[in-house]
A and B are shown apart, each in its own frame.
Chain A
Amino acid sequence: AQTVTQSQPEMSVQEAETVTLSCTYDTSESDYYLFWYKQPPSRQMILVIRQEAYKQQNATENRFSVNFQKAAKSFSLKISDSQLGDAAMYFCAHGDPSGNTPLVFGKGTRLSVIA
């Protein structure tokens, strides 16, 4: 069974600075997807970024990028130029390559952004 571990329950960052959230996972599969979801106080789960395991290039979405280390089973999220609106819970998740099976989530990291 897949597991996802987020070892940082809470993080904080100064506005305009850069922060990295950590995630490690365990799977016996060679192909899979990894995700970062953002959950603001509204509770809505918002997809931030997605990485396909067979792609070596790290995914990037505007100020959000990942450092995907497949051999180390590590998938960290870097947020550049942090904004107040980035304050939220961030969840790392694993999904299988069929695309339509349940996601396995980490416990989350609460990010605070300090003005």
Chain B
Amino acid sequence: DAGVIQSPRHEVTEMGQEVTLRCKPISGHDYLFWYRQTMMRGLELLIYFNNNVPIDDSGMPEDRFSAKMPNASFSTLKIQPSEPRDSAVYFCASSLAGGIYEQFFGPGTRLTVL
């Protein structure tokens, strides 16, 4: 399996622009998580889905952030408008209900907002 795929790997944008991050989970996994990593706050959950349905979005910082999972093989995290404080590494992870508990992480997207 190719593992969790994220795109782009790096994104540099200007304040006010819309940013869309993409994630393809491991085939067959039914849970998908979006985490954000910053120096100040470390790794924190933004939102997670089960069978394409958002379960907990309490970590989404504000209305500028939105996430969707239109099908089992694709999710997006959108920031509109972006701000410099959104600069971070955004990780997507997926897992499979039952079995051995493990979340598989994608390589992350490094976002820089100028």
Residues of chain A touching chain B, judged by Cβ–Cβ distance below 8 Å, are 33, 42-45, 47, 50, 91, 95, 97, 99-103, 105-108
Contacts and interface: CB of A to CB of B under 8 A. Distances in A.
Nearest to A102: B45
B75 interface: no
Interface of B: 30-31, 33, 35, 42-45, 48, 50, 56, 59, 89, 91, 93, 95-103, 105, 107-108, 110
Nearest to A108: B42
B88 to A, nearest CB: 12
Q: Which 10 A-B pairs have the closest CB atoms?
A: A45-B105, A99-B101, A102-B45, A105-B43, A107-B42, A100-B31, A43-B108, A33-B101, A100-B97, A100-B95
A101 B43 CA distance: 15
B39 to A, nearest CB: 9
Given A95-B101, A108-B42, A102 B107 contact: no
